Structure 1
């Protein structure tokens, strides 16, 4: 049974779009968005030259506690790693690649409505 993920959070979808655009501007190439299976979901799967990059995107608005990066706890990291393993089993043409786990945190903590985007390479 194929897994299908639907993004119901408009802000989350906007954050993923912003992250994707930013990473493409940095030279990364998109392979897949929202890869989901029974172990979890990876927001963006990209190539950085020959490195396969699994990207977790997190958004936090001004009313939410903590920053976006702090919300990627050990449990979430574990799920992403397990999901990446499933991806590599399914797409064996990438099994030879070095893998990296990045995070994009987008925080909106001020009254101006401006978001701050932070790219953390090798976040976990």
Structure 2
């Protein structure tokens, strides 16, 4: 298990977008850049509103009860060179489980696909 991600980054990205769409009653415009891009503001709508750029990271299992966040320092440096209004917010999960999320959920009889929306009802 050592070295596996706690929860897939792509899953966290989708869960975050589900939350934003729910929170703002589907009036949130969402966009995922293509492969090889991080964040591209060229696709922001040309209307009044707020723009929020998120860079989601996941954790890696490094021990029985330990998780580690890995951040690409080159990416962090590139983001830091942008004007403040174009710097993304990093989002880090805080696991309250031991090991890999899908395995833990399955062992407790909870479908892992239901974890994202469990608190939205």
Normalised-by-shorter TM-score class: 0.3 to 0.5
TM-score (norm 1): 0.45
TM-score (norm 2): 0.46
Greater Rg over alpha carbons, structure: 2
Q: More relative contact order in 1 or in 2 (CA 8 Å, sep 6+)?
A: 2
